[in-house]
């Protein structure tokens, strides 16, 4: 029986959770749905989560094929992904919502749309470029069936937690206030900063290893 890689479980969950950033996107979501009833809000959140799950699962499965099709090396993608996460982490530390999540134009259009659950809520607000990149990198590093299952289980667990947080969005906002949301977002930003640097280091080490094999 294969050993369960605890460090990989923690890396997968922490990467995905901090990049989705459910606490941070709650104020945006509430502003998009301020005219909706509680029942309509629940339906929107549920559809958004299902959309995000489908998108992340597709990229988790197709990640290797995308790398091979475009001739992209995993170390190049890890370095690029680390840089992307680095920018996101600075935005979070500064208490800004990452530009990868949703643009002001998308937010404005969302208010005017009848159904906003798929886009921009499902993608890119929940399943944004950062989360998709993270899943592709982590999936490409899986060498066993157990590790592949860990990625998919973590997608499911993270989105269930995100669903609960977004469902309780109004209560959480009232309870902890803007200051509380900013403090949590900054802590998550620091975690993401460490993860992004580790991704860059791992990518550089893989690059050096591949170059040494060629010599």
Residue 135 belongs to domain spanning: 6-214
> Is residue 85 one of the residues assigned to a domain?
yes
pLDDT in tens, 37-58: 899 999 999 999 999 999 999 9
Quote the CA–CA distance of 167 and 110 in Å, as a whole number. 19
State the pLDDT confidence band at 210, using cuts at 50, 70 and 90: confident
Of the two residues 32 and 97, the one the predictor is more confident about is 32
Quote the CA–CA distance of 167 and 105 in Å, as a whole number. 24
The mean pLDDT value for 98-109 works out to: 57
> Is residue 209 one of the residues assigned to a domain?
yes
Share of the chain above pLDDT 90, in %: 57
> Is residue 77 one of the residues assigned to a domain?
yes
Least confident segment among 4-8, 79-83, 113-117: 113-117
Q: What are the DSSP E strand ranges found in 79-179?
A: none
Chain CA centroid to CA 48, Å: 14
pLDDT in tens, 129-164: 999 999 999 998 888 889 999 999 999 999 999 999
What is the DSSP code (8-state) at residue 35? T
The mean pLDDT value for 60-89 works out to: 90
pLDDT at 1: 47
> Is residue 200 one of the residues assigned to a domain?
yes
Please give the tally of structural domains in the chain. Answer: 1
**Length of the chain in residues, anyone?**
215
> Is residue 137 one of the residues assigned to a domain?
yes
> Is residue 141 one of the residues assigned to a domain?
yes
> Is residue 1 one of the residues assigned to a domain?
no
> Is residue 80 one of the residues assigned to a domain?
yes
Least confident segment among 71-80, 98-107, 121-130, 188-197: 98-107
Q: Cα separations (Å) of 69 from 63, 66, 137, 213? A: 10, 5, 15, 23
């Amino acid at each position: 029986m294969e050993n369960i890689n605890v460090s990989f479980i923690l890396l997968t969950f922490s990467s995905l959770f901090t990049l989705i950033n459910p606490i941070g996107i709650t104020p945006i979501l509430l502003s998009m749905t301020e005219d909706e009833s509680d029942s309509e809000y629940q339906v929107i959140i549920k559809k958004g989560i299902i959309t995000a799950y489908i998108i992340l699962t597709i990229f988790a499965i197709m990640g290797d094929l995308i790398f091979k099709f475009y001739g992209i090396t995993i170390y190049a993608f890890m370095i690029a992904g680390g840089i992307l996460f680095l920018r996101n982490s600075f935005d979070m530390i500064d208490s800004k919502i990452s530009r990868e999540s949703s643009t002001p134009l998308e937010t404005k259009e969302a208010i005017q749309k009848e159904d906003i659950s798929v886009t921009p809520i499902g993608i890119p607000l929940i399943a944004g470029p950062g989360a998709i990149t993270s899943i592709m990198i982590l999936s490409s590093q899986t060498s066993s069936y157990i590790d592949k299952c860990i990625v998919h289980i973590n997608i499911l667990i993270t989105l269930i937690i995100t669903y609960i947080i977004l469902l309780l969005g109004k209560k959480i906002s009232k309870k902890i206030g803007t200051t509380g949301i900013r403090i949590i977002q900054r802590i998550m930003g620091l975690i993401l900063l460490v993860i992004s640097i580790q991704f860059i280091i791992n990518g550089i080490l893989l690059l050096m290893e591949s170059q040494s094999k060629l010599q």
